């Protein structure tokens, strides 16, 4: 499930980070993460721990139509809003994509690359 549905998520991440661990949060980057309290907490964690806090955002396809077919109408726009916010605020960011359309992997990767270039979203490809 979505980790930011757990009201203790920020505290759990902070505890792990304070113990010297890297934390990777797999999220849909939608409504729960975009609440003001959560965003403020994430910014504080970024300021304190830097790139030890990483995000992997679930994006089922690089097109709105195919992503929304899997996640529901309007979910692509919400996920993109979250991705733009994470990128604009300097978080380490990667994508968890899925092969759902039957297109070759090279075409999918090119589609994601074009989307992120168009949206000015920096993705960690390492």
Span 33-78, pLDDT tens digits: 999 999 999 999 999 999 999 999 999 999 999 999 999 999 999 9
CA nearest neighbour of 93 among 114, 123, 68: 123
The two tokens of residue 88 are 């604009």
Examine the pLDDT at 126 and tell me if it is beyond 90: no
Query: Does domain 3-119 bear CATH number 3.40.50?
Result: yes
Q: Please give the residue that has the higher pLDDT: either 99 or 66.
A: 66
Residue where the block lists tokens 């309007």: 74
Which residue is listed with tokens 């920096």? 122
Determine the pLDDT at residue 101.
Answer: 63
- The structural domains of the chain, with segments of one domain joined by +, span 3-119
Q: Which helix (H) or strand (E) holds 26?
A: strand 23-27
pLDDT tens per residue across span 16-38: 999 999 999 999 999 999 999 99
Mean pLDDT of 109-114: 94
Distance (Å, rounded) from C-alpha 119 to C-alpha 112?
11
Q: pLDDT at residue 100 above 80?
A: no
């Amino acid at each position: 499930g979505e980790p930011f549905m757990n009201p203790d998520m920020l505290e759990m991440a902070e505890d792990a980070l304070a113990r010297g661990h890297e934390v990777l949060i797999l999220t849909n980057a939608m409504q729960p993460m975009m609440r003001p309290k959560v965003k403020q907490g994430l910014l504080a964690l970024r300021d304190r721990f830097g790139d030890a806090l990483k995000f992997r955002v679930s994006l089922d396809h690089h097109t709105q139509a195919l992503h929304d077919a899997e996640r529901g109408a309007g979910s692509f726009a919400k996920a993109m809003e979250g991705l733009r916010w994470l990128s604009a605020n300097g978080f380490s960011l990667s994508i968890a994509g899925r092969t759902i359309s039957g297109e070759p992997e090279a075409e999918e990767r090119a589609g994601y690359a074009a989307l992120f270039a168009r949206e000015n979203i920096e993705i960690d490809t390492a």
